[in-house]
Amino acid sequence: MKSGTILLIGPTNSGKSTLLNKIIGKRVSLVSRKKQSTTFNQKAIKSLSEAEIILLDTPGIFSSTKKISNRMSNSAISEIETATIIYLVLDISKKIEPTLKKIVKTIYNKVNDQSIFLILNKIDKISKGNIFIKIKDYKDQTGLEDIFPISALDGDGISDLLESTKKYLPKRKQKYSKKKTVLLKKDIFYSEITREKIYDKIHKEIPYLCKVHTERIKKTKDEITIHQRIAISKKSHKNILIGKRGSTLKEIGSQSRREIAKFENKKINLFLFVKLKSEK
Ligand SMILES: Nc1nc2c(ncn2[C@@H]2O[C@H](COP(=O)(O)OP(=O)(O)OP(=O)(O)O)[C@@H](O)[C@H]2O)c(=O)[nH]1
Ligand SMILES: [Mg+2]
């Protein structure tokens, strides 16, 4: 048996969470068109034949701040030591960032004997010829040898990536039960799903300003009842979130409920309450 932890890092919006979900085969991490959709380190487990990989998703490096050390979210960097392999995920359809060398260097300074895989994601967005050119460019720019062109969306290149990953994993006892896929507490996980639906539904900055709290989970044999509070800081946001006669909130609730039901394979009753932070 082999086992190891893979850390996913890279710029915001490069497709780290999409890749994690594709590997797991379930939506366990929040994905969004918007930047900075992942806000904390989400852990998930994939059982392969004779191997177990623990994947750790992290919030993206945001390119607007000045210092690299700030740009690499600290929590992501601090996890490097615990990883066996680091997946540095980049969007191949974008031009090579001048800061890339520095980013790679920062990672290099932190690694001991971990391997760095350069994952060039979103190959579905560019032509085959361009893929080869880009791979060469990235190789020259970073000096990295393990480069994987993939599409996290289509699943292209992922089996190759997993095969190579398996080779690098150390022989170790299995850490988790084969049934487990998420290592996150269920309340946070359910909150994340609702947060994702808010992101999909509401534009502007509001989704960044509200917080979803799962306050109660009641399980019976074939049903789960969940109560969630969405905390917001402005009264005007409350109206937008709730929508005309509650229509927006209703839609968010039913999408979230469906997503949780798909994951749990059970009937879900979901109750959402929108509260101003100042309200009790
Ligand atoms: N065309 C295409 N789009 C992709 C691919 N992978 C991800 N995307 C899209 O890119 C956007 C960002 O994906 P995420 O997985 O949320 O990116 P992330 O790196 O986790 O972003 P942060 O959590 O903000 O750091 C979403 O709209 C995805 O659907 C891909 O292989 N091809
Ligand atoms: Mg993400």
Same domain, 74 and 110: yes
Q: List CB contacts of 236: < 8 A, sequence separation 6 or more.
A: none
Per the domain annotation, does 178 fall within a domain? no
Ligand 2: centre distance to CA 121 (Å): 13
Q: Which residue has the tokens 């939506």?
A: 27
pLDDT of 183 reads 66
Q: pTM (2 decimals)?
A: 0.78
Ligand 2: centre distance to CA 211 (Å): 17
Same domain, 11 and 140: yes
Same domain, 23 and 105: yes
Per the domain annotation, does 23 fall within a domain? yes
Query: Which is nearest to 253 in space by CA: 238, 266, 270?
Result: 270
**Are residues 35 and 12 in contact, defined by beta-carbon separation less than 8 angstroms?**
yes
Same domain, 21 and 151: yes
Per the domain annotation, does 27 fall within a domain? yes
Nearest ligand to the C-alpha atom of residue 62: 1
Nearest ligand to the C-alpha atom of residue 120: 1
Per the domain annotation, does 176 fall within a domain? no
Per the domain annotation, does 174 fall within a domain? no
Boundary-marking domain end, from 168, 199, 219: 168
pLDDT of 203 reads 75
Per the domain annotation, does 175 fall within a domain? no
Per the domain annotation, does 241 fall within a domain? yes
Same domain, 145 and 257: no
Ligand 1 atom having least distance to the Cα of 60: 25
Same domain, 52 and 152: yes
Closest CA to ligand 1's atom 6: 15
Q: Spell out which residues have Cβ within 5 A of ligand 2, the ion.
A: 16-17, 38
Same domain, 162 and 84: yes
Specify the number of domains making up the chain: 2
Question: What CATH code is carried by the domain that includes residue 260?
Answer: 3.30.300.20
Ligand 2: centre distance to CA 221 (Å): 33
pLDDT (tens, 9 = 90+) of the chain, 280 residues, equals: 999 999 999 888 899 999 999 998 877 777 766 666 666 677 888 888 889 999 998 887 755 444 444 445 566 777 888 899 999 999 999 999 888 888 888 888 888 888 999 999 999 999 999 999 999 999 999 999 999 999 999 999 999 999 999 999 999 888 887 777 766 678 888 998 898 888 888 876 676 778 899 999 999 989 999 999 999 888 888 888 999 999 999 999 999 999 899 888 899 999 999 998 876 5
Same domain, 140 and 193: no
Give the Å distances, CA to CA, from 66 to 59, 94, 196, 213, 250.
17, 20, 28, 33, 41
Question: What CATH code is carried by the domain that includes residue 162?
Answer: 3.40.50.300
Ligand 1 atom having least distance to the Cα of 18: 15
pLDDT of 268 reads 97
Range of the domain at 190: 186-276
**Mutation pick for ligand 1 pocket among 8, 13, 35 (CB with most ligand atoms within 8 Å):** 13
Residues having CB closer than 6 A to ligand 1 are: 12-18, 31-33, 35-38, 59-60, 121-122, 124-125, 151-153
